[in-house]
């Protein structure tokens, strides 16, 4: 794959990430923000009941700006950045993970990214709304989350390599099952050895916590699904299919 093709795919990946980010923004605004507001209300009520309302810090950025312009900026920049990174990963993965075309590779890559980058660390260290979590442990929690994310990516790559090496002996189906099983076992071992963090305050609504975490999953699900479909469509216009390459190689007879 030449540099021009890679550059074209990078641009299309960032555009697809932007479009996917717009869809994820809609989900974040209508599903996530109401839960954030409810969590903030609980936090303020707890501070008031303990007599700490007068110690509340002055907001540098208002809640209205945070839930609109701030949310839009964060989600869209996140989508563009991940779109660019995923496009580069696509350039490496195309033709190396199986005999898949550009569209199928984009969808498979998006699904693997959703699993390894988000779901694996999320199941161990799920997202928390305001009022949940000790401020003194935020550094530790962040480090553990990114460690679990890194492990998820490395284990997904290792499982893919294992499946590719087993394919000649077991066939594609059983090799895929073996690679997937090895991935699940390795993630389970990582879960068992890494420390857990349970810092939900007394009295916090379990329903609200559950709804917030479901909305966090929904945002990522929409983001990566939309990216895979949009980028797959755009990538097919850049990466020639086997049929089109064969058609160009056939000499035209007068």
Tokens, residue 194: 């890494």
CA dihedral 159, 86, 119, 27 (to 10 degrees): -160
User: 156-162: long-range contacts at Cβ-Cβ below 8 A with a sequence spacing of 24 or more?
Assistant: 156/112, 156/115, 156/116, 156/183, 158/182, 158/183, 158/186, 159/183, 159/186, 160/97, 160/112
Q: What is the pLDDT along the chain (254 residues), one digit of tens a residue?
A: 677 788 899 999 999 999 999 999 999 999 989 999 888 888 777 766 665 554 445 566 777 788 888 899 999 999 999 999 999 999 988 887 777 888 999 999 999 999 999 999 999 999 888 878 777 888 898 999 999 999 999 999 999 899 889 988 988 889 889 999 999 999 999 999 999 888 888 888 889 999 999 999 999 999 999 999 999 999 988 886 554 444 444 454 44
Those residues whose C-beta lies under 8 Å from the C-beta of residue 108, and which sit 6 or more positions away, are 97, 100
pTM of the prediction? 0.85
């Amino acid at each position: 794959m030449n540099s021009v093709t890679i550059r074209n795919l990078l641009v299309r990946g960032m555009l697809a990430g932007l479009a996917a980010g717009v869809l994820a923004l809609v989900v974040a605004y209508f599903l996530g923000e109401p839960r954030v507001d409810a969590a903030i209300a609980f936090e303020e009520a707890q501070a008031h009941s303990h007599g700490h309302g007068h110690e509340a810090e002055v907001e540098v950025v208002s809640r209205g700006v945070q839930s609109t312009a701030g949310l839009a900026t964060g989600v869209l920049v996140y989508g563009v950045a991940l779109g660019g990174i995923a496009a580069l990963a696509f350039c490496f993965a195309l033709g190396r993970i199986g005999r898949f075309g550009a569209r199928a590779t984009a969808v498979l890559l998006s699904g693997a990214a959703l699993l390894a980058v988000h779901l694996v660390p999320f199941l161990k260290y799920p997202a928390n709304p305001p009022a949940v979590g000790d401020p003194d442990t935020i550094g530790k929690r962040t480090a553990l989350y990114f460690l679990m994310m890194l492990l998820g990516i490395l284990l997904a790559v290792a499982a893919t390599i294992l499946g590719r090496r087993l394919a000649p002996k077991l066939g594609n189906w059983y090799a895929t099952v073996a690679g997937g099983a090895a991935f699940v076992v390795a993630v389970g071992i990582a879960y068992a050895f890494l420390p857990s963090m349970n810092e939900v305050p007394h009295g916090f609504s379990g329903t609200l916590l559950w709804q917030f975490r479901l909305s966090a999953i929904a945002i990522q699900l929409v983001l990566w699904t939309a990216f895979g479909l949009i980028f797959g469509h755009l990538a097919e216009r850049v990466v020639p299919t086997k049929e089109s390459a064969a058609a160009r190689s056939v000499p035209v007879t007068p």
